Chain A
Amino acid sequence: MTRSAARRVWGLMYRHLALYRRSWPRLIELMYWPILQMVVWGFVTAYLAGVQNNVASAAAGVLLGGVLLWEVALRSQMGFSISFLEEIWSRNLGHLFVSPIRPHEMVAALMGMSVIRVLIGVVPAMGLAWLLYAFGVWSMGPVVIAFFAALLLMGWAVALGVTSLILRFGAGAETLAWSVLFGITPFAAVFYPVAVLPAWLQPVALSLPAAHVFEGMRAALLEGRIDWGHLAWALALDAAWMAAMSWVFMAQLRAARVKGALLNIGE
């Protein structure tokens, strides 16, 4: 990346960081849901650990791990998509698209904001999980960093798809920015193994990087081992998803320039 390109990426990130500095409700909103999710599931975990036998107690810890790691994918996707939507809401998108910032630089800036939003949203929830329930995601070992990366990448891939739909259908598609990953949750094997799903659904689940991450997480937490196979599948699927969604994004951007959608995308 050239110095000019890095400066353009930083310029767009600075625009969002300045927004957060001036809008504390946005900052609180970033932390609110991850903490709320963690607290609710933490109590469920505490209940299961307290009233069930030892096997269930061990499994209960996995629920909290699932909640916290799934938040990485959710916040990653939302961080990217909502940063893009901020440009539509502020009617600033036209200025950006007539500036010299390239599409891949815009995507890089949105990814950068996504990482910052994930850290602001998920790190406090992880700290609270440790304080309230003595559960640390780091108990999985260093492999948790790979899980984080795989889920971050999956969030970006989905966000590229959501952003493509916004380019295609306008701001009317914005509800997808909040809802799309919630719809994937049942197939992502966040709280239960893929084997629990009906046989015909299992291939669908196994096409999601997240399902492999959570199988790996359970192997780490319950058996104390790193499941390299699932980790490799997760990263390979991430690469495939990113490539596919990048192509879709560029195709939709081109289509928006043909149809004139960039002139009135906020409408």
Chain B
Amino acid sequence: MPYDMSLRPAATAAAPGTAAPVPAIRCEALSKRYGKPDRPPAVDALSFTLPRGATWGLLGGNGAGKTTTIGMLLGLLVPTSGRVACLGHDMARDRFRALARMNFSSPYIALPHRLSVRENLRVYAHLYDVPRAERRIAELAAQLQLEDLLDRPAGELSAGQKTRVALAKALVNRPALLLLDEPTASLDPDTGDWVRTWLERYRAESGAAILLASHNMAEVERLCEHVLMLRRGRVVDQGSPAALIERYGRDDLEQVFLDIARGTGAAAEMVPA
């Protein structure tokens, strides 16, 4: 597909001689504890800075704290302590200005299935105050091969088609920061590969930052230049996929993930229990 300047979000880099651009995400000692104070934290003193234009992965087993972290980044959850700022906006005080320039996609949150694809995209174009909404919807439909689906109810689409529609919704406001929760879950390998290729292209052309939570290690290896490994709410290790594979003496990221999750292999000594 031809390169489309409309993918490009608002300016993401500082002009020469000016201060560095604010990062896409800055988390400082972010913690979340549900219920009574004696319960273990779901997220424990998480700190990281996601630069503009980077794609990072958030990895961890079930209950590691990925969903809670994403919830706090999106303002759905109030942290117990710590701070989070997205695109320079403090999410505790100023989250709506950040949310207008962010977006989110998850297979676990649906779009109204009785509405057509076009109606769904119109709703979100209004909510994000997208200028020239119909033109933007047509652009996204062309880019994500949705033209034949625009007037079909979202509930009648296949899993792969729904994923493309969810991506269109997530890109409707040309976000400078995109949070993706398992973007290829339940997709066949061909469709999953199509989505990954599209995300690579989108990132390269738009300069947007992407934070990706996934259980698909091959996907993370391919898309992410940096990975945060979570266990019991803490970052137990981080680095590029290649560096992590080398550090743990393994062949791929999946083996590293298993070592960290089970405390086996090199992780038995390197990762705190």
**Which residues of A are interface residues toward B (Cβ below 8 A)?**
4, 7-8, 10-12, 14-15, 18-19, 22-23, 86, 90-92, 94-102, 254, 257-260, 262-263
Contact = CB atoms under 8 A, between A and B. Distances in A.
A100 B71 CA distance: 15
A99 B76 CA distance: 10
Mostly, the A contact residues are helix
B24 to A, nearest CB: 16
Contacts, number: 101
Given A22-B115, A23-B114, A8 B71 contact: no
Interface string B119-142: 100111111110000000000000
B127 A19 contact: no
B112 A263 contact: no
Interface of B: 34, 67-68, 71, 74-78, 96-97, 99-100, 102-104, 106, 108-116, 119, 122-129, 153, 169
A263 B100 CA distance: 20
A18 to B, nearest CB: 4
Given A15-B115, A260-B68, A260-B71, A99 B77 contact: no
Given A15-B115, A19-B114, A91-B110, A254 B128 contact: no
Contacts of B110: 90-92
Contact of A15 (B96, B108, B123): B123
Contacts of B112: 15, 19, 86, 90, 92
Nearest to A254: B78
Nearest to A96: B127
A133 to B, nearest CB: 37
B190 to A, nearest CB: 26
A18 B76 contact: no
Nearest 8 CB-CB pairs, A to B?
Answer: A11-B126, A94-B109, A91-B110, A100-B100, A15-B123, A11-B127, A90-B112, A18-B119
A254 B77 CA distance: 9
A98 B86 CA distance: 13
Contacts of A19: 112, 114-115
14 contacts: A11-B122, A12-B126, A15-B119, A19-B114, A23-B114, A86-B112, A90-B112, A91-B108, A99-B128, A100-B100, A100-B128, A260-B34, A260-B76, A262-B71
A99 B114 CA distance: 20
Given A92-B112, A257-B78, A101 B127 contact: yes
Given A15-B115, A95-B111, 12 more contacts: A8-B126, A8-B127, A10-B126, A12-B123, A15-B123, A90-B113, A92-B112, A94-B76, A94-B109, A260-B34, A263-B67, A263-B71
Nearest to B109: A94
B106 A94 contact: yes
A102 B128 CA distance: 11
Nearest to B153: A22
Contacts of B116: 18, 22
Nearest to B169: A95
The winner among A91, A99, A259, A263 for most chain B CB atoms within 10 A is A99
A259 B111 contact: no
Contacts of A18: 115-116, 119, 122-123
B113 A257 contact: no
Contacts of A8: 126-127, 129
Contact of B75 (A14, A92, A98, A101): A98
B174 to A, nearest CB: 14
Contacts of B100: 100
A250 to B, nearest CB: 13
A33 to B, nearest CB: 22
A98 B104 CA distance: 8
A100 B126 contact: no
A100 B129 contact: yes
A63 B271 CA distance: 75
Nearest to A21: B119
A18 B109 CA distance: 20
